[in-house]
Structure 1
């Protein structure tokens, strides 16, 4: 088992579900309260102990990398005006012990292909994958779900997939895991015996949907090289993991928090409401505002 420091975040998508907002601005740079979605995701990764962030990107998305770079003029101006709190917030976007790099995905061939594009940066190390669309909110401040997945990876040696129970009528929107009918309570893990991408309701093995957090062995990169296009004509990560399960254990970790899909308009609005109600600067006044609407 290799040290777990690297995490792949695919950000090359076109953001069609939030158009026209994403026409000129990467969807990952849309803000939830006072931070871009991508910053929320990177902070989650850092909290779980990851120190090497690998963005899989494309042309037209340089603002994502710029956001995590230094802005000397802005910092100097904030310092001159004595705006210390804002200066700290800008300087602390990326801790000094965390690195971030970008690799290109030159064709939109699916999540599996995006992950494979990061293979040179991953090498022979085990790694994690996070989808930037999915924000997780939890009332637990000490640990996040990704932290608990990392702990299970170290304890069990098994690859990890985060799942969330969804209504059966929605399973066709997700990759779904099969845990041989074993119950899966929040905060628990169970071995996976199979998985399927976007199954019809009648064919779904469970209502446990994959929600965009994975901890995977380096072996996945070799499997992705041989993975043929699947659902939607794309190279699906789920298909490679279905092959991995034939030779190595994979656990499903049932999350305690709640996901908000910022890749669509409704999920983005929901995330802003939930995060706004828990932000120290906005919580009280925002709560009063919502009560006034009701």
Structure 2
């Protein structure tokens, strides 16, 4: 079997309104809300870079210019920092080669599938990755790799389509998309024979939930262009992927790491605390604060 085409492009659907975090998101995109001192979108982009992805495609909406500006050169800020002898290294992760950041506009919020379809001209005929920045995926402590790097490594063996999954307690599966598993290829790689959105606990085919990272073949765009509406009257990516199962290889990679649901306020707070406590420059102080508050 010939080697699959490398994954060099990633789509970030960031056009959502962020209503769960109002009023904070009235003027600030939810993807720019910081976990400690880095915005959510930065964590996702850093994960993409670790996996060897070179071109970031942001599918944006009205009021989302701050996301693009975050990855732009801030001349005034940098000049002021230089004059004051400040280290510019803290800005390095937000710098990009011109042309490596591309934005497209989703004018009408018609669902995740529609947002991905909006990037079709840039994706072209290449396989591509998808990142949902709300899902903060953190590598295992002690030298683990990021979620997308684990998926890219698996993709080099399988080709086709891959989704990241996590195992959760079975009594929680009704809140998530769940895979119907086929053959167990390895400890972390499972064949996918079907996808079920928010199944009743007693009807769930597994306890492996879809967790916001995807590698898909460009044919998914042909499926999405039919503009068929699914749950909630929106064009669903899950429906398009389900139609591709059986026509191309489809696997799930069980992520060896941690996931924080930063689309919820409690998940956002949990992520902030967890990552702050791991920081060498503030971990001890944050743990002391936590103990004091709990005492």
Return the TM-score normalized by structure 1. 0.94
Secondary structure at the aligned position of 2:24 is classed as: coil
Q: Are positions 1:64 and 2:63 aligned together?
A: no
Query: d(CA) in 2 for partners of 1:92 and 1:217?
Result: 28
Query: d(CA) in 2 for partners of 1:56 and 1:64?
Result: 11
Query: d(CA) in 2 for partners of 1:252 and 1:105?
Result: 28
Query: d(CA) in 1 for partners of 2:76 and 2:280?
Result: 28
Structure 1 residue 184, shift from structure 2 partner = 7.9
Query: d(CA) in 2 for partners of 1:137 and 1:74?
Result: 29
1:33 is aligned to 36
245 and 140 in structure 1: CA distance in 2 versus 1, 3 angstrom threshold: farther
Query: d(CA) in 2 for partners of 1:197 and 1:183?
Result: 24
Unmatched runs of 5 consecutive residues or more in structure 1: none
Query: d(CA) in 2 for partners of 1:141 and 1:39?
Result: 20
Q: Are positions 1:178 and 2:180 aligned together?
A: yes
Contact 1:181 1:206 (8 Å CA) reproduced: no
CA RMSD, 1 decimal: 1.8
1:239 is aligned to 239
1:291 is aligned to 291
Aligned pairs (5 A) from 1:262-277: 262-277=262-277
Return the TM-score normalized by structure 2. 0.93
2:24 is aligned to 21
Structure 1 residue 291, shift from structure 2 partner = 2.6
Count of paired positions: 290
227 and 180 in structure 1: CA distance in 2 versus 1, 3 angstrom threshold: farther
Secondary structure at the aligned position of 2:26 is classed as: coil
Query: d(CA) in 2 for partners of 1:172 and 1:197?
Result: 8
1:55 is aligned to 58
* More deviation, 23-32/166-175: 166-175
196 and 58 in structure 1: CA distance in 2 versus 1, 3 angstrom threshold: same
Contact 1:178 1:192 (8 Å CA) reproduced: yes
Query: d(CA) in 2 for partners of 1:124 and 1:169?
Result: 40
Query: d(CA) in 2 for partners of 1:227 and 1:126?
Result: 20
Q: Deviations over 1:124-169 (max 9, x none)?
A: 0000000010101221435222111101111111311000112223
Query: d(CA) in 1 for partners of 2:241 and 2:126?
Result: 17
Structure 1 residue 256, shift from structure 2 partner = 1.0
* More deviation, 34-43/275-284: 275-284
Contact 1:70 1:91 (8 Å CA) reproduced: no
Contact 1:4 1:126 (8 Å CA) reproduced: yes
Structure 1 residue 171, shift from structure 2 partner = 1.8
159 and 17 in structure 1: CA distance in 2 versus 1, 3 angstrom threshold: same
Unmatched runs of 5 consecutive residues or more in structure 2: none
Alignment counterpart, residue 165 of structure 2, candidates 137, 145, 163 = 163
Contact 1:277 1:287 (8 Å CA) reproduced: yes
Query: d(CA) in 1 for partners of 2:205 and 2:120?
Result: 31
2:107 is aligned to 106
1:191 is aligned to 191
Contact 1:184 1:254 (8 Å CA) reproduced: no
Query: d(CA) in 2 for partners of 1:109 and 1:281?
Result: 43
Structure 1 residue 207, shift from structure 2 partner = 1.2
